[in-house]
Amino acid sequence: MQTALIIGYVWPEPNSSAAGRRILDLIDALQAGGIAVHFACAASPTEHQCDLRALNVTTHAIALNCDSVDRWVAELAPDVVVFDRFVTEEQFGWRVSSAAPNALRVLDTEDFHSLRAARELALKRALAGNPSADVGAITVGNAELYELMREDDRLLRELAAIFRCDVSLMISSFEVTLLQEYCQVPPQLLYHLPFTVDQPAMTYPDFAAREHFVSIGNFRHRPNWDAVLWLKQHVWPAIRQQLPRAELHIYGAYPPPKATALHNKRQGFLVKGWADDALTVVAQHKVLLAPLRVGAGIKGKLLDAMLTGTPSVTTDIGAEGMCGECQWPGAIANDSKALAAQAVSLYQDESQWRLAANACGPLLAKHYSRADLGPKLVTVLRERHLNLNAWRRDNILGALFNFHSIRSTEFMSRWIEVKSRLNKAD
């Protein structure tokens, strides 16, 4: 296996979102395994995108609904193709299947979108009639989650993409369990791969050198925006009542006017916007707040807290799939009063703070080691590629979805392609 092609949903912005960081994790693992990486994307470039060429990645701008992609993929002849999110597999999976039939097809789910949508639906219903009500984290059981997921055809689309691919990379162990137990996805189709990091190489400020609280997250991501609103309306007022001089510094990419309008210096609620370096910013603060009521996957902001030895206060949604049997480096609570109490306690109690800060390193080493996880991923991909024909023969549902379900997206794309040609001819 010598050549890998990653087809991106967008051009990666690792300083803006965890999704961008995830792409760089995959690139690093593939390159460390001696595999040349190409990255292709149909989205428009952005001013904040990573310079992939500086990372020795060959980049390609491609078009949607255009057979030029077929010819280009056939010429490249990649050994493995990674689809960034299920919608990208829907758009390009059938083209790759035809143009490079011997390429291992890998779906990087980023997170389980159906799960996130189900929790957002549950929150919407809980807030119906009173959008500013103090509703806590959505912690319904797996059976109820599955029923909520079934209300949206996104679940079927995601499952079809998972079955069509040879392996799907899952960032959260919780999502692996949900897919196996409720969606009947065979374990061999799923591979658990969290974020990968190197152990911190520098010492970050100690308790006495830090001050204030921090929250960080891309404002375009709905769970992050909901967390900011919950902070503003309920969690932060409860903290501020006990710590009247404390400030909350809120950072995140793409802050909309509705977010900057929440800035209130008198309340200590400071919307800072973009962070040039998330780790440097987080390391200046005593406690990171991540009161996530909804969401899926695992959270880059909480990983940043661990990397900087910063205790974090979050919900079960935030911590989901992140620590296994390890001690959480901070506190977990699911309602505003409990979150505030835990945050104040960590902020004031130096011994409690140190225990949480010291728990970061062991957790990172056990669950997120780049040196351990990267080579294991490449080994799995090589073995599966080597036995690809037998693997696909045994994946009968994958064959079924590739034979039937894929046809609608293919023919819609071909129709758009023909229509475009006719319009140009006119």
Query: Domain residue spans in the chain?
Result: 3-196+370-425, 207-367
Quick one: pLDDT at residue 120?
Answer: 96
* Cα 20 to Cα 14, 78, 300, 312, 367, distances in angstroms: 4, 22, 10, 22, 20
Quick one: pLDDT at residue 1?
Answer: 84
The answer to whether residue 389 scores a pLDDT higher than 60 is yes
Does residue 358 or residue 423 have the better pLDDT? 358
Quick one: pLDDT at residue 407?
Answer: 61
As a whole number of angstroms, the distance between CA 353 and CA 209 comes to 13
Q: 413 falls in which pLDDT band (50, 70, 90)?
A: confident
Average pLDDT, integer, range 116-126: 96
Token couple for 375: 């080579």
* Cα 333 to Cα 28, 248, 282, distances in angstroms: 35, 18, 21
Q: 189 falls in which pLDDT band (50, 70, 90)?
A: very high
Look up residue 234 and give its amino acid.
Answer: H
Does residue 213 or residue 1 have the better pLDDT? 213
Average pLDDT, integer, range 145-164: 95
Beta strand residue intervals within 49-185, DSSP E: 58-61, 80-84, 104-108, 167-170
Quick one: pLDDT at residue 419?
Answer: 77
Q: Which 3 state secondary structure label does DSSP give 83?
A: strand
Mean pLDDT of the residues in the chain: 94
Quick one: pLDDT at residue 409?
Answer: 67
DSSP designation for 54: G
Does residue 426 or residue 19 have the better pLDDT? 19
Chain mean position to CA 73: 27
pLDDT digits (tens, 9 = 90+) for 333-353: 999 999 999 999 999 999 999
As a whole number of angstroms, the distance between CA 157 and CA 114 comes to 9
In terms of Cα–Cα distance, which of 163, 117, 119 is closest to 142?
Answer: 119
As a whole number of angstroms, the distance between CA 81 and CA 39 comes to 10
Average pLDDT, integer, range 146-175: 95
As a whole number of angstroms, the distance between CA 273 and CA 257 comes to 11
The answer to whether residue 3 scores a pLDDT higher than 90 is yes
Q: Considering the entire predicted model, what is its pTM?
A: 0.91
- Burial state string for 7-32 with b = 16 or more CB within 10 A and e = fewer than 16: bbbbbbbbbbbbbbbbbbbbbbbbbe
The answer to whether residue 426 scores a pLDDT higher than 70 is no
Quick one: pLDDT at residue 399?
Answer: 80
Please check whether the two domains, 3-196+370-425 and 207-367, share a CATH topology: yes
In terms of Cα–Cα distance, which of 109, 211, 230, 127 is closest to 165?
Answer: 109
What spatial distance separates the first Cα and last Cα of the chain, rounded to whole Å?
A: 46
Average pLDDT, integer, range 379-400: 90
Alpha helices for 236-387 (secondary structure H): 236-242, 257-260, 278-283, 300-307, 316-319, 336-348, 350-358, 360-367, 370-386
As a whole number of angstroms, the distance between CA 261 and CA 225 comes to 13
In terms of Cα–Cα distance, which of 57, 318, 26 is closest to 167?
Answer: 26
> What is the crossing angle of helices 396-403 and 154-164, to 10°?
110
As a whole number of angstroms, the distance between CA 336 and CA 341 comes to 9
Q: 418 falls in which pLDDT band (50, 70, 90)?
A: confident
Quick one: pLDDT at residue 229?
Answer: 97
- Residue found under tokens 């078009």: 63
CA angle 357, 360, 365 (to 5 degrees): 155
Q: Which 3 state secondary structure label does DSSP give 28?
A: helix
As a whole number of angstroms, the distance between CA 241 and CA 222 comes to 27
Quick one: pLDDT at residue 406?
Answer: 53
pLDDT digits (tens, 9 = 90+) for 240-292: 999 999 999 999 999 999 999 999 999 999 999 999 899 999 999 999 999 99
Q: Which of 7-11, 63-67, 137-141, 248-252 has the lowest mean pLDDT?
A: 63-67
Quick one: pLDDT at residue 115?
Answer: 96
Quick one: pLDDT at residue 408?
Answer: 66
Quick one: pLDDT at residue 147?
Answer: 96
Query: Which CATH code of 3.40.50.2000, 3.40.50.720, 3.90.1150.10, 2.60.40.10 fits the domain covering 3-196+370-425?
Result: 3.40.50.2000
Q: Which 3 state secondary structure label does DSSP give 223?
A: helix
Average pLDDT, integer, range 62-89: 95
As a whole number of angstroms, the distance between CA 80 and CA 95 comes to 14
The answer to whether residue 293 scores a pLDDT higher than 80 is yes
The answer to whether residue 330 scores a pLDDT higher than 90 is yes
Q: Which of 81-95, 370-384, 392-406 has the lowest mean pLDDT?
A: 392-406
The answer to whether residue 187 scores a pLDDT higher than 90 is yes
User: Domain 207-367 classified CATH 3.40.50.2000?
Assistant: yes
For the chain, what percent of residues have pLDDT higher than 70?
98
pLDDT digits (tens, 9 = 90+) for 26-64: 999 999 999 999 999 999 999 999 999 999 999 999 999
Do residues 64 and 412 make contact, with C-beta atoms less than 8 angstroms apart?
Answer: no
